[in-house]
Amino acid sequence: EPPPRERPGAHLPPADLAAERDNAQAASSRPLEDTDLASYLMYPKVYADYAQHRS
């Protein structure tokens, strides 16, 4: 089987960052920083657990 020639996420739909920011903010009791959003996008469950522990 030949190796893939496209980047791995090429066929995924674009993320709705505004909606994802709202979701991440709902998981946190503190104001959301850009680094928090990045963490949430990569690991939503881990970030939600961390935000709950942090509050």
Task: List, for residues 5-47, the tens digit of each pLDDT value.
Answer: 999 889 999 999 999 999 999 999 999 999 999 999 999 999 9
Structure pTM?
0.77
The CA-atom distances, in angstroms, between 43 and each of 5, 46, 55 are 27, 5, 18
